[in-house]
Amino acid sequence: MQHPEPGEAGNGHWDALDGLPPVREPGRAVAAVLVPLYRDGDGAVRVIMTKRPDNMRTHPGDVVFPGGRMEPGESAVDCAVREACEEVALPRDSVTVVGGLSPLTTRDPNNLIVPVVAKVERPAELIPQPEEVDVILEPTIDELLDDTRWQISEWFGHNLWFYDFPEATLWGATAFMVRELLSIFNTPEA
């Protein structure tokens, strides 16, 4: 088996993003997240995620995408970009929305979240907003594609995916989003 040159697999990943469906904006959506992807200096595709502080009222210590509640009249795209700007100082003009993932709920079935996927130009420094972000995580897609690092476990009658980072565990709704995102890279064209 021939191994790809450094960064070669990442280039295929980057091109696969162009096949994403458009962002869906169901009328009952209450929140949106940005799934920001960029190519690093070696050509690898990375995703920007955050670990929420352990003292947060909701989802304490969870690994999530930048995002939050939509303001009245705000679209999912506008919300996701605004939240990424607030939470990790991602400049608005560095974001190019390329599509969306399936809207889904958290433990609260009334909390419908719209995932917005974007190619971004990573600034020299991402700055965590301390009230909402404990740590910024930037795994490569290749790391996330390594199925040996994923576990599936039963949790209150549901099978959930878990992925351990040194800082925290990715699970729940965000893990479902990541697994859907990874499915586009597992196609023969990617």
Output the domain CATH number for residue 49.
3.90.79.10
34-60 pLDDT, tens digit per residue, is 999 999 999 999 999 999 998 877 777
Contact 102, 22 (CB under 8 A): no
143 assigned to some structural domain: yes
Indicate the average pLDDT of the chain: 89
Question: Among 34-48, 125-139, 142-156, where is mean pLDDT lowest?
Answer: 142-156
2 assigned to some structural domain: no
pLDDT at 150: 97
3 assigned to some structural domain: no
Please give the residue range of the domain that contains residue 120. Answer: 8-185
129 assigned to some structural domain: yes
Biggest alpha carbon distance in the chain? 53
160 assigned to some structural domain: yes
1 assigned to some structural domain: no
176 assigned to some structural domain: yes
pLDDT level of residue 158 (50, 70, 90 thresholds): confident
96 assigned to some structural domain: yes
Calculate what percentage of the chain has a pLDDT beyond 70: 92
pLDDT of 187 > 70? The answer is: no
**Number of domains the chain contains:** 1
pTM of the predicted model, to two decimals?
0.90
